Amino acid sequence: MTVYLVGAGPGDPGLLTLRGAEVLGRADVVVHDRLSAVELLDLAPASAERIDVGKAPGKARYTQDEITALLVERGSAGQTVVRLKGGDPTVFARGGEEAMALRDAGIAFEIVPGVTSAIAAPAYAGIPVTQRFSSTSFTVVTGHEDPSIGEDGSVDWDAVANVGGTIVVLMGVGRVAKICERLIAAGRDPDTPAAAVIWGTKPEQRSVRATLATLPDQDLESPATIVVGAVAGLDLSWFESRPLFDRTVVVTRARAQSSSLLASLRELGAGTVEIPAIHIDEPADGGSSLRAAVDRLADYDWVVVTSPNGARRLLAECRDARAFGAAQVAAIGPGTAEALAEGNVVADLVPERFVAEGLLEVFDDGPGRVLLPRAAEARDVLPEGLREKGWDVDVVEAYRTVQGRPSDDDLARAAGADIVTFTSSSTVRNFLAVCDTVPPTVACIGPITAATAREHGLTVDVEADVHTIEGLLDALIGHVRNR
Ligand code: SAH
């Protein structure tokens, strides 16, 4: 019904507005540019059509007229259309032209403002565009037009120079020398601080500090936001100072589990590549033995759960909250205990060492019955150890870990990454089955995983002392800091 002209923000997907997310969530069609944040497209319903107008098969890209015609056509067909644009849709983004065409065609439209790179890229480089007393205005200007003295572009560079305050130039990399020269000629001090923020707000952000006289000599590339003025001399760096900034980390967990690790890595500044080396699948028997075991759950003295996946599978089969009866529950690892707690089952025993051996050390002797729901391909240490202690153990296959198939794009990014993280032995095996190139730094969650990595010829650089995701992250930060 409506065409929404939505600002996607400058690159960090977190900088989309709530309104933008809401309209994306009910779009029939998303018309997007060669966006910096592809993740945002995932916010649209899976069924929504996604049209990349930044590139089109067989031709360079859509012309502006073709884009406008597309919006009018889809809008008049009654579709909910989201026109997603980098930064703010009205800042050097032709949102005004698109809105005019929609108005003239009698199609309802809305403008959903976005966070513009003009402010956000400097902010992520630790440069506030205004500062009390010293920088009391900011001028955002396009650098696309030729600023050579004598040519009459429509930007009045003398006026821009003389208004004082901060000057923010977008699309200025190609003409940076002429722009700086022009501002100096108009009376700005050549020693005025000047900065360029390249790929601002993205994991690959790079900021360059210089002066009006020296900025053109720096190594610049597009897209960059150029900032000229006293504020460009302030150093409030935070984004580029985060512990894992400028590192690309491969995450090899199953996709369903990887989100917390991914989120933490990004929070620490790392770029991430997901190689869902394994994913979790139904057991070979479709879950019938697990279901049968759950029906007899109260017959057991102990239920020993060894992984969050095992916990989730077990709880998914428990249709009656009383199913456990008097059976006690042991969990290996706090993640497993947490997964149980999410289903309102509080583990009675969580050994301090988060491996099978750790449980055997603290587990009482039998007799009695133990149910051990776990992955098809798990080690035999636990059932054998428990049997030695006099327990009658039923091992039930609760899930299978299956080889994932990463995209070529992700494989290429993984090959160029700095760090790979392994959170279980199967992630090592499955990663090596799909990736030929191993990143230079190998980080493992614990000794068993590390041993598997070494068996496969890898050098383990980081081994977590505490065998949890947090422990792994701490070890990784320590390693990066020491280098
Ligand atoms: N509507 C956009 C601007 C489009 S013009 C906005 O509001 O941000 C394109 C220019 O924006 C680029 O040439 C560059 O100067 C700037 N730009 C866009 N994304 C950027 C980013 N991630 N970092 C730095 N500058 C960026």
pLDDT of 267-299, one tens digit each? Answer: 999 999 988 766 788 888 989 999 999 999 999
| Model confidence at 59: pLDDT above 70 | no
The band of 118, judged by pLDDT with boundaries at 50, 70 and 90, is: very high
Mean pLDDT in residue range 251-255: 74
Residue 345 is given by DSSP the state -
In tens, the pLDDT along 161-219 reads 999 899 999 999 999 999 999 999 999 999 999 999 999 999 889 999 999 999 999 99
Mean pLDDT in residue range 293-314: 93
The band of 32, judged by pLDDT with boundaries at 50, 70 and 90, is: very high
Query: What's residue 258's pLDDT?
Result: 67
In tens, the pLDDT along 314-340 reads 999 988 888 999 999 999 988 899 999
Give the number of the atom of ligand 1 that is nearest the alpha carbon of residue 200: 23
Tell me which residues have their CB closer than 6 angstroms to ligand 1. Answer: 10-11, 36, 85-88, 91-93, 116-118, 121, 170-171, 197, 199-202, 222-225
The band of 257, judged by pLDDT with boundaries at 50, 70 and 90, is: low
* pTM, full prediction: 0.76
In tens, the pLDDT along 432-475 reads 988 889 999 999 999 999 999 999 999 999 999 988 889 999 99
DSSP letter string, 29-54: EEEE-S-S-GGGGGGS-TTSEEEETT
Domains with residue ranges and CATH for the chain: 3-115 (3.40.1010.10), 119-233 (3.30.950.10), 248-277+404-482 (3.40.50.10090), 283-400 (3.40.50.10090)
Query: What's residue 55's pLDDT?
Result: 62
Query: What's residue 182's pLDDT?
Result: 95
Measured CA to CA, the distance from residue 369 to residue 389 in angstroms comes to 11
| Model confidence at 395: pLDDT above 90 | yes
The band of 226, judged by pLDDT with boundaries at 50, 70 and 90, is: very high
| Model confidence at 153: pLDDT above 80 | no
Three-state secondary structure call for residue 83: strand
The band of 151, judged by pLDDT with boundaries at 50, 70 and 90, is: low
Which of these is catalytic: 28, 171, 246, 410? Answer: 171
Higher pLDDT, 285 or 354: 285
Is residue 1 part of the annotated active site? The answer reads no
Query: What's residue 284's pLDDT?
Result: 87
Ligand 1 midpoint to CA 149 (Å): 25
Ligand 1 midpoint to CA 169 (Å): 9
Ligand 1 midpoint to CA 205 (Å): 13
Q: Which of 33, 37, 38, 27 is nearest to 4 (CA)?
A: 27
Measured CA to CA, the distance from residue 285 to residue 266 in angstroms comes to 38
Kindly state the helix (H) or strand (E) to which residue 341 belongs, with its residue range: helix 334-342
The band of 355, judged by pLDDT with boundaries at 50, 70 and 90, is: confident
Average predicted confidence (pLDDT) for the chain: 91
| Minimal-distance CA residue to ligand 1 atom 11 | 170
Which residue type is seen at 424? Answer: S
Which residue type is seen at 15? Answer: L
| Lowest-confidence segment of 123-132, 143-152, 221-230, 345-354 by average pLDDT | 143-152
| Model confidence at 424: pLDDT above 90 | no
| Minimal-distance CA residue to ligand 1 atom 13 | 171
Tally the residues of the chain.
Answer: 483
Higher pLDDT, 36 or 252: 252
Structure tokens at 304: 């020993």
| Model confidence at 84: pLDDT above 80 | yes
The band of 364, judged by pLDDT with boundaries at 50, 70 and 90, is: very high
Strands of the sheet with 224-228, listed across from one edge: 138-142, 166-170, 224-228, 193-198, 206-211
122, 94 contact by CB (below 8 A): no
Query: What's residue 54's pLDDT?
Result: 82
Within 8 A by CB and 6+ apart from 110, the residues are 2, 3, 4, 5, 23
Give the number of the atom of ligand 1 that is nearest the alpha carbon of residue 114: 7
Mean pLDDT in residue range 54-64: 71
Give the number of the atom of ligand 1 that is nearest the alpha carbon of residue 225: 25
Ligand 1 midpoint to CA 197 (Å): 10
Is residue 171 part of the annotated active site? The answer reads yes
The strand pair at 369-375 and 302-305 is best described as parallel
| Model confidence at 152: pLDDT above 60 | no
Kindly state the helix (H) or strand (E) to which residue 272 belongs, with its residue range: strand 271-274
Ligand 1 midpoint to CA 223 (Å): 6
Which of these is catalytic: 55, 156, 189, 365? Answer: 55
Query: What's residue 169's pLDDT?
Result: 98
| Model confidence at 57: pLDDT above 70 | no
